């Protein structure tokens, strides 16, 4: 079962450390969103109860029982809060606390599908058999084996260290940024920001509540004694020897104390591990950058923007950067050497640069941000009005998500889009009831390709995007030798493998082998089910690679999805597809 709420759950897990301040939601790259209020906030209230089930109003004949164990050692975990939530709306139905032997039992349950959750301080709060955004729900009923579950709860990993400057003195107020390399092969390949915090007066930092994985660490700071001498409009100011000695900056420094991003040492964290990553900063002469701003006649250029680029993420230009604008000139002082992204002029121009010396950047430098406009159409070609469109940068593209709205004729426009690779996302229904409209194909300059990718170069882009206005909900079973298989990776693979990133859908089979695939666009597909799609460390098979997923297609189930409404369920209801045959589970 897929849970789009996991990004929020990860944020709550990270907040277990008062010294760790997450800054990035991981849920933005996933299809759809469902609000979720997690019961873990009431952990201590639950723990104060007896080990008995907390809801006595249930009268069903079924039970969910088992043992919570440490995922690393296999030892029982006593005092863990265990709860079942309704699969429909994530409402907590009943909860209990494990005994010293790790055992739990939730009884008097009706025949239904439930989310099973466990939580304890020092462990990652998780759903049963959770892998990233997926887990296996528990199905109760006749012939369902739900009384002897083993719930593996992973202990938190902790990363700490000390940031020091020249001479070994601690650096207070250093910005420590933690990035995690994604395990999801269908995601953007760039590392994702996992947390940001400032060092204390001893130069120390600590990230706790971390999941196992490969991390990268970057530090941005300013020498406490730095003083930046500048005279607006004069690039070569005469400085005294003392002034020059204090006009310094710390370059962004990566673990293990390198200023070369490509040489950053990965930090491998395992469940329950505690690792130390110290970083030493060295001050260098601060740099000075002058931007010559150009603008079309009769227009006003927006303020020039300068941001450092750290593992593909744009950050503030520097903790002690000074910007001075006058006339058609903008000057930046106190800059450290490193990678920067510049936006200047009107229409805006975008430039990536490796700043290694003070310089003046010509107004014509970089590529212009261009207009991306087009028409939003349904599968039948009808205009789609009132939809919210988002262009989201892919790996290697500087910039942030840009939004637009289609008018009554389906027209839309993104006025200024930097060059690079982007993906187009379309939603309808507003914030409270947002519904995805899968992008089926994009036509540009007479050429049509499946999926949602848009490439912007140095000229305006005009396109036609076709979306599914009636995405389907597909339900089925993953089985082997006639028996439902729990925890299998289920992948809906489009016939055009080039559209995997936008049209593929995934789920993890529940305890009875059932699965649900949401927001399925019309088209021809093959469904495959793979046992052990995730290994013991949570790393998944490279399902997004056509060469890898292609090995499983001959053993999959072919299905054709039409773009139509469910006439029996109301005018706006998506089509509900119940697969007639089971998907046979294949070995990894």
Q: Are residues 493 and 559 in the same domain?
A: yes
Question: Does residue 19 form part of some domain?
Answer: no
The pLDDT value recorded for residue 397 is: 79
Can you tell me the mean pLDDT for 222-231? 81
Q: Are residues 201 and 148 in the same domain?
A: no
Residues spanned by the domain of 507: 472-586
Q: Of residues 509 and 534, which shows the higher confidence score?
A: 509
Q: Are residues 171 and 51 in the same domain?
A: no
Q: Are residues 556 and 576 in the same domain?
A: yes
Question: Does residue 253 form part of some domain?
Answer: yes
Which residues, at least 6 apart from 521, have a Cβ–Cβ distance to it below 8 Å? 438, 439, 440, 467, 468, 471, 503, 561, 563
Q: Are residues 251 and 267 in the same domain?
A: yes
Largest CA distance in the chain: 86
* pTM for the structure as a whole: 0.81
Taking only the tens place, the pLDDT of each residue in 49-91 is 445 666 656 888 999 999 999 999 999 999 999 999 998 888 8
Domain count, the chain: 4
Task: Look over the chain and give the mean of its residue pLDDT values, rounded to a whole number.
Answer: 84
Question: Does residue 454 form part of some domain?
Answer: yes
The pLDDT value recorded for residue 524 is: 94
Q: Are residues 444 and 478 in the same domain?
A: no
CATH number of the domain bearing residue 525: 2.60.40.10
For 8-17, 299-308, 358-367, 439-448, which range has the lowest pLDDT when averaged over its residues?
8-17
Q: Are residues 411 and 301 in the same domain?
A: no
CATH number of the domain bearing residue 115: 2.60.40.1120
The pLDDT value recorded for residue 110 is: 94
The pLDDT value recorded for residue 25 is: 28
Question: Does residue 12 form part of some domain?
Answer: no
| Three-class DSSP category at 48 | coil
Q: Are residues 218 and 324 in the same domain?
A: yes
Taking only the tens place, the pLDDT of each residue in 374-393 is 999 998 899 999 999 999 98
Q: Are residues 43 and 110 in the same domain?
A: yes
Residue 60 neighbours by CB distance under 10 Å: 13
Can you tell me the mean pLDDT for 278-293? 91
For 33-37, 120-124, 465-469, which range has the lowest pLDDT when averaged over its residues?
33-37
pLDDT of 341 strictly over 80: yes
* Domain final residue pick, 425, 440, 467: 467
* Domain final residue pick, 133, 153, 173: 153
| Three-class DSSP category at 559 | strand
* Strongest mean pLDDT among 40-49, 181-190, 311-320, 533-542: 533-542
Report d(CA 120, CA 124) in Å as an integer.
Answer: 8
Taking only the tens place, the pLDDT of each residue in 302-334 is 667 888 889 988 877 665 666 666 567 788 888
- With a pLDDT cut of 70, the percent of the chain lying above it is 80
- Closest C-alpha to 295, from 325, 317, 320, 271: 325
- With a pLDDT cut of 90, the percent of the chain lying above it is 57
Q: Are residues 56 and 42 in the same domain?
A: yes
CB-based contact 298:336 (threshold 8 Å): no
pLDDT of 431 strictly over 70: no
Question: Does residue 393 form part of some domain?
Answer: yes
* Domain final residue pick, 134, 153, 172: 153
The pLDDT value recorded for residue 24 is: 28
Question: Does residue 146 form part of some domain?
Answer: yes
Which residues, at least 6 apart from 134, have a Cβ–Cβ distance to it below 8 Å? 1, 2, 3, 489, 506, 507, 508
Q: Are residues 274 and 392 in the same domain?
A: no
Question: Does residue 7 form part of some domain?
Answer: no
* Strongest mean pLDDT among 47-61, 199-213, 234-248, 385-399: 199-213
- Closest C-alpha to 216, from 253, 171, 270, 164: 253
Question: Does residue 482 form part of some domain?
Answer: yes
* Strongest mean pLDDT among 126-140, 174-188, 431-445, 534-548: 126-140
Q: Are residues 307 and 347 in the same domain?
A: yes
The pLDDT value recorded for residue 434 is: 75
Provide the β-strand partners of residue 117: 83, 127
């Amino acid at each position: 079962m897929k849970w789009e709420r996991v990004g929020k759950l990860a944020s709550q897990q990270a907040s277990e450390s008062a010294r760790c301040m997450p800054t990035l939601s991981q849920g933005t790259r996933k299809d759809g969103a469902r609000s979720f209020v997690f019961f873990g906030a009431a952990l201590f209230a639950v723990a104060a109860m007896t080990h008995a089930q907390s809801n006595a109003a249930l009268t069903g004949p079924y039970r969910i029982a088992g043992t919570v164990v440490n995922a690393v050692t296999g030892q029982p975990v006593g005092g863990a809060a265990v709860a079942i939530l309704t699969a429909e709306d994530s409402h907590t139905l009943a909860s209990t606390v494990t005994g010293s032997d790790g055992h739990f039992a939730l009884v008097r349950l009706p025949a239904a599908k439930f989310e099973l959750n466990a939580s304890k301080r020092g462990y990652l709060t998780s759903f049963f058999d959770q892998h990233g955004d997926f887990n296996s729900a528990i199905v109760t009923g006749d012939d369902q084996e739900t009384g002897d579950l083993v719930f593996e709860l992973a202990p938190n990993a902790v990363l700490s260290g000390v940031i020091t400057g020249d001479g070994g003195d601690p650096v207070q107020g250093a910005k420590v940024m933690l990035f995690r390399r994604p395990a999801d092969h269908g995601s953007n390949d760039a590392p994702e920001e996992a947390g940001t915090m400032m060092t204390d007066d001893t130069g120390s930092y600590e990230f706790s509540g971390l999941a196992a994985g490969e991390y990268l660490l970057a530090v941005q700071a300013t020498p406490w004694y730095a003083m930046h001498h500048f005279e607006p409009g004069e690039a070569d100011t005469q400085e005294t020897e003392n002034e020059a000695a204090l006009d310094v900056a710390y370059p962004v420094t990566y673990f293990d104390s390198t200023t070369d991003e490509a040489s950053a040492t990965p930090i491998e964290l395992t469940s329950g591990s505690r690792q130390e990553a110290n970083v030493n900063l060295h001050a260098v002469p601060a740099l000075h950058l002058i931007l010559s701003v150009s603008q079309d006649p009769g227009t006003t250029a927006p303020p020039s923007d300068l941001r450092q680029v750290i593992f593909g993420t744009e950050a503030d230009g520097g903790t002690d950067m000074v910007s001075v604008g006058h006339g058609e000139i903008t000057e930046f002082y106190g800059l450290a050497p490193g990678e920067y992204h510049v936006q200047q002029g009107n229409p805006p121009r975008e430039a990536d640069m490796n700043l290694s010396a003070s310089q003046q950047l010509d107004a014509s430098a970089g590529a212009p941000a261009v207009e991306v406009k087009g028409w939003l159409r349904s599968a039948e070609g009808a205009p789609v009005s009132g939809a919210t469109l988002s262009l989201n940068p892919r790996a290697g593209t500087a910039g942030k998500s840009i939004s637009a709205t289609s008018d009554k004729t389906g027209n839309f426009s993104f006025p200024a889009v930097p060059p690079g690779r982007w993906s187009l996302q379309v939603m309808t229904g507003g914030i409270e009831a947002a519904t995805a409209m899968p992008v089926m194909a994009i036509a540009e300059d007479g050429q049509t390709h499946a999926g949602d990718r848009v490439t912007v170069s140095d000229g305006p882009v005009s396109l036609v995007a076709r979306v599914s206005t009636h995405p389907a909900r597909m339900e089925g079973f993953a089985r082997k030798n006639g028996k439902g298989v729990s925890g299998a990776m289920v992948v809906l693979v489009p016939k055009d493998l080039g559209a995997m990133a936008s049209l593929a859908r995934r789920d993890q089979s529940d305890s009875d082998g059932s699965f649900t695939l949401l927001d399925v666009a019309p088209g021809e597909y093959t469904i495959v089910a793979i046992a052990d799609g995730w290994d013991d460390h949570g790393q998944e098979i490279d399902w997004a690679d056509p060469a890898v997923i292609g090995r499983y297609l001959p053993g999959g189930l072919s299905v054709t999805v039409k773009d139509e409404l469910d006439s029996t369920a109301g005018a706006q209801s998506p089509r509900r597809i119940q697969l007639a045959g089971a998907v046979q589970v294949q070995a990894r």
